[in-house]
Structure formats: structure tokens, C-alpha cells
């Protein structure tokens, strides 16, 4: 049994104190897990655009400070709370921002992965059990002394800390021999993208696809479409430096909207004889969403919306445009039910069905987390893996 079990742990975390303020690496206290909660030691975490979005704090829903961001990680179970049966101390696990209780009306149906109790909720910042937080400060952001202050949770996970507490519904056990850095990618970006292609669009062999936004999420869509045998994958990005890497994920054609004198959808319709079978919006820009929608073939085209949209603007479509037979739907966590489907997906990745290594473009120590944020903001990284807590080699 861990000697820390049942005790408060003091450890290092990167705390967000305000919109766009550099994260502060400081000492915090992490309470023991309560009923049906799990405390993890975070080994590796990477940064997803959604972390950037909440750090920017563009809208009210995103602003809750001080807060520990981070949701793409891999960790080891330090201790479990009362009633937790499916993971135990020492298990390697992936935290998931979209949980699965296994019992609600949604979890007991195949159709959706949006668990009634633990589905991703951008407004949620405290634990379900008691409405409290398991994190608190020991110092001010400048290292001065102050009364302890609570630190908010983020997306059911909060992984920019050496220790975190999650609901057990948001913890997925993985194979003890799984490559840990690579597995952290399944915690969000790669599962979201590959799942959008496999589970949401159900991409078929020989079909055509357009992916808007070639960050990790969009490239994971491309990788998923490639693995399903798509014959043509058109990558659209305003940053031309993304094109070279995307060839590894099966992208066959590249479109930079900045180089065009006509709308992207017009170009795509021209080169595909009417439009693609599937399009995916992975930038979080509503104007791009409209282009993605219009890029598919009338009659059967299907658009999957993956980006997160901080703007209050609504869908830029006229209802009559839906009579042209194009479909549109959103996809959260790639439609994967985390506990019941992720272990099998992780196994498929280990067998090489989906390649994970190309997504890791940078590695930095935890202390350099602000540099890692900057790399993603500048479009210079796909995923930068941060080593969070030191651990003994397996």
C-alpha cells in the first residue's frame, strides 16, 4: 500500500492564475481520493488546443482561476477511494475528459459516448461527490505566504500536476507494457481524431475525405481515414509547414486557403468532381466549418465537427442548405466510450494499425511548460510531451 494513501500529498503543479498569464509551477496540496475517485501520479502530459482555449479564457465559461489545466496524459494509480474496483494502486492508466459510468441510460446504449453523469462539461470545475476541489494552494502565485485557496479542476482531468484526483469513471486502465508517452496521446487528440473518422463518420474504403486543420486532431482524422482505406485525403491548413508531416498520415492533397483566389469548398468540389464524401472541421473556426460543410458532395456528404468554438456565433448555415442532402454532426472524444472501447483501441495502436510516433514532435521537462504552450500557439508542434513526475523504470 502506498505510504501516501489517505494523506494529503504536497507536490508540484503548473497553476493557471488568469487568462494568458504564464502558468506558475508551484507547490500545491492534493487531497486523498473520496468515494469512487482515484488519485494518479501523472507521468507524461501533452498539450491540446483545448488547453490553449481555456488558458486564453475568451468566454465566461472558460474563466475559472486559479485552475490546473491539462487533459492529455498517462499516469499511474497512487491510491483509490472507497468503492473503486476496476483499477488499483500501481495500474497504468489514461485519464479521459469524457467519462463512462457504465450504468446510465447513455452508457447502457451503443449509440452515444456522452455519459449522463461524467460527459465532458466545460463549465464543471469541482468534483461531483461534494462540489469541492481536491487541490489547494500552499503559497501565492509569487511564492509568498497566504491562506490556502482552492484550485479548480478542468475537464474531469487536470493533468499539469504531479498528482491529480479524478472520478474513477474518467480513468482507463491500459496494458502494463504499453509505451507510455505514446499512450498519453490516446487521452485526447489521437482518439478524438481517429474516432471521428471511424466512429462518427464511419469512413469507408475508397472514399474521399477533406480534413480542415492539420494539428494533431486533424492529422489523427487523416490517419484514421488512411487506416480505413480512404483513397484521397485532402488536407486544408493556413500553415504550409503542416503539409510535409501530414504525408505520413496519408494526406494526398494540400490546400492552403491563403494561396486561393476562390473559396476552399469551390476548389475541393472542382478537384473531386462535386465534393468529398466526408469532411472534418478541426480548427475551431466557424467560417472554416461552413467551408467544410460545403466541400462535401450534395446528396450524401457528411461533415463531422470536431473543433471547439469559443465564439458566441451560431452555425453559419441556412436551413434550406440542408435540403441539398449534406449531413453535419459533432463528435466528442471521437465517439469512443472510454472504458469499454479505449483498451482495444490502445491495443490496435500497439499493433501499428494507427501510427502514434509521428504525433510526438517535441519533448520538454515539466518546468518548460510555458515554452510548450508557445510551440503550440506558434503552430510549431503537434504534441509536445512533458515529463511530469519522476518515476521508477518498469
Site for Zn ion in 34-63 (CB under 5 A): 48, 50
Contact 77, 93 (CB under 8 A): yes
* 45 beta partners: 73, 386
Interaction between residue 297 and ligand NAD (CB under 6 A): no
9 versus 203: smaller Cβ distance to ligand NAD: 203
66 upstream amide cis, omega within 30 of 0: yes
Interaction between residue 257 and ligand NAD (CB under 6 A): yes
When computed from its CA atoms, the radius of gyration of the chain, rounded to whole angstroms, is 21
Among 30, 38, 42, 48, binds ligand NAD (CB under 6 A): 48
- Residue ranges of alpha helices (H) inside 44-97 are 49-56
Interaction between residue 306 and ligand NAD (CB under 6 A): yes
Pairing of strands 163-167, 72-80: unpaired
Among 32, 189, 235, 275, binds ligand NAD (CB under 6 A): 189
Q: Which does 308 bind (CB under 5 to 8 A by kind): ligand NAD, Zn ion, none?
A: ligand NAD
Q: Which does 214 bind (CB under 5 to 8 A by kind): ligand NAD, Zn ion, none?
A: ligand NAD
101 versus 188: smaller Cβ distance to ligand NAD: 188
Q: Is residue 136 helix, strand or coil?
A: strand
Nearest to 160 by CA among 333, 364, 366: 366
Interaction between residue 360 and Zn ion (CB under 5 A): no
58 versus 139: smaller Cβ distance to ligand NAD: 58
Interaction between residue 203 and Zn ion (CB under 5 A): no
Among 74, 93, 115, 389, binds Zn ion (CB under 5 A): 115
Q: Is residue 224 helix, strand or coil?
A: helix
Interaction between residue 210 and Zn ion (CB under 5 A): no
* 129 beta partners: none
φ, ψ at 115 (rounded to 5°) = -45, 135
Residues in CB range of 169: below 8 A, 6 or more apart: 36, 99, 100, 101, 102, 115, 117, 118, 339
How far apart CA 394 and CA 392 sit, in angstroms, is 6
- What cell does 291 get? 467551408
Which stretch in 8-16, 87-95, 171-179, 277-285 sits in contact with ligand NAD by CB under 6 A? Answer: 277-285
* 380 beta partners: none
Among 188, 221, 328, 356, binds ligand NAD (CB under 6 A): 188
Please return the burial class of 256, using the count of CB atoms within 10 Å of its CB with bins 0-12, 13-18 and 19+. Answer: middle
Q: Which does 285 bind (CB under 5 to 8 A by kind): ligand NAD, Zn ion, none?
A: ligand NAD
* 280 beta partners: 211, 304
Site for ligand NAD in 3-32 (CB under 6 A): none
Among 9, 13, 47, 107, binds Zn ion (CB under 5 A): 107
Site for ligand NAD in 318-377 (CB under 6 A): 331-333, 376
- What cell does 283 get? 480548427
Which stretch in 44-52, 221-229, 244-252, 336-344 sits in contact with ligand NAD by CB under 6 A? Answer: 44-52
Nearest to 242 by CA among 214, 261, 272, 220: 214
Interaction between residue 251 and Zn ion (CB under 5 A): no
Among 16, 68, 73, 101, binds Zn ion (CB under 5 A): 101
92 versus 212: smaller Cβ distance to ligand NAD: 212
Residues that bind Zn ion (CB under 5 A): 48, 50, 101, 104, 107, 115, 188
Using CB under 6 A as the criterion, which residues of the chain lie in contact with ligand NAD when the complex forms? Answer: 48-50, 53, 188-189, 192, 213-218, 236-239, 242, 257, 282-285, 288, 306-308, 331-333, 376, 379
Amino acid at each position: 500500500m502506498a505510504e501516501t494513501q489517505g494523506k494529503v500529498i504536497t507536490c508540484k503543479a503548473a497553476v493557471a492564475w488568469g487568462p494568458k498569464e504564464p502558468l506558475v509551477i508551484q507547490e500545491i496540496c492534493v487531497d486523498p481520493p473520496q468515494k469512487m475517485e482515484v488519485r494518479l501520479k501523472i507521468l507524461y502530459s501533452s498539450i491540446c488546443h483545448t488547453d490553449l482555449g481555456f488558458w486564453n479564457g475568451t468566454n465566461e465559461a472558460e474563466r475559472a482561476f486559479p485552475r490546473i489545466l491539462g487533459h492529455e496524459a498517462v499516469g499511474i494509480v497512487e491510491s483509490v477511494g472507497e468503492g473503486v474496483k476496476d483499477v488499483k494502486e500501481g495500474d497504468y492508466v489514461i485519464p479521459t475528459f469524457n467519462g463512462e459510468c457504465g450504468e446510465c441510460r447513455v452508457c447502457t446504449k451503443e449509440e452515444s459516448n456522452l455519459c449522463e453523469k461524467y460527459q465532458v462539461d466545460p463549465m464543471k470545475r469541482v468534483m461531483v461527490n461534494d462540489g469541492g476541489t481536491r487541490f489547494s494552494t500552499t503559497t501565492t502565485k509569487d511564492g509568498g505566504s497566504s491562506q490556502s485557496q482552492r484550485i479548480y479542476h478542468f475537464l474531469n482531468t487536470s493533468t499539469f500536476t504531479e498528482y491529480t484526483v479524478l472520478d474513477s469513471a474518467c480513468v482507463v486502465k491500459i496494458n502494463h507494457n504499453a509505451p507510455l508517452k505514446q499512450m498519453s496521446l490516446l487521452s485526447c487528440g489521437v482518439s478524438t481524431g481517429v474516432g471521428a473518422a471511424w466512429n462518427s463518420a464511419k469512413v469507408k474504403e475508397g472514399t474521399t475525405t477533406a480534413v480542415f486543420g492539420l494539428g494533431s486532431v486533424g492529422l489523427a482524422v487523416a490517419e484514421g481515414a488512411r487506416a480505413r482505406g480512404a483513397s484521397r485525403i485532402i488536407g486544408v491548413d493556413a500553415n504550409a509547414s503542416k503539409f510535409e508531416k501530414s504525408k505520413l498520415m496519408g494526406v494526398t492533397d494540400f490546400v492552403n486557403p491563403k494561396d486561393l483566389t476562390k473559396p476552399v469548398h469551390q476548389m475541393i468540389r472542382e478537384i473531386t468532381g462535386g465534393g468529398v464524401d466526408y469532411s472534418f472541421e478541426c480548427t475551431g473556426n466557424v467560417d472554416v466549418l461552413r467551408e467544410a460543410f460545403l466541400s462535401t458532395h450534395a446528396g450524401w456528404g457528411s461533415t463531422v465537427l470536431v473543433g471547439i468554438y469559443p465564439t458566441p456565433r451560431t452555425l453559419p448555415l441556412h436551413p434550406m442548405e440542408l435540403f441539398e442532402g449534406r449531413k453535419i454532426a459533432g463528435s466528442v472524444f471521437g465517439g469512443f466510450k472510454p472504458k469499454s472501447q479505449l483498451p482495444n483501441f490502445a491495443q490496435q495502436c500497439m499493433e501499428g494499425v494507427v501510427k502514434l510516433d509521428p504525433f510526438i514532435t517535441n519533448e520538454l521537462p515539466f518546468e518548460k511548460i510555458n515554452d510548450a504552450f508557445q510551440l503550440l500557439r506558434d503552430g510549431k508542434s503537434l504534441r509536445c510531451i512533458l515529463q511530469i513526475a519522476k518515476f521508477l523504470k518498469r
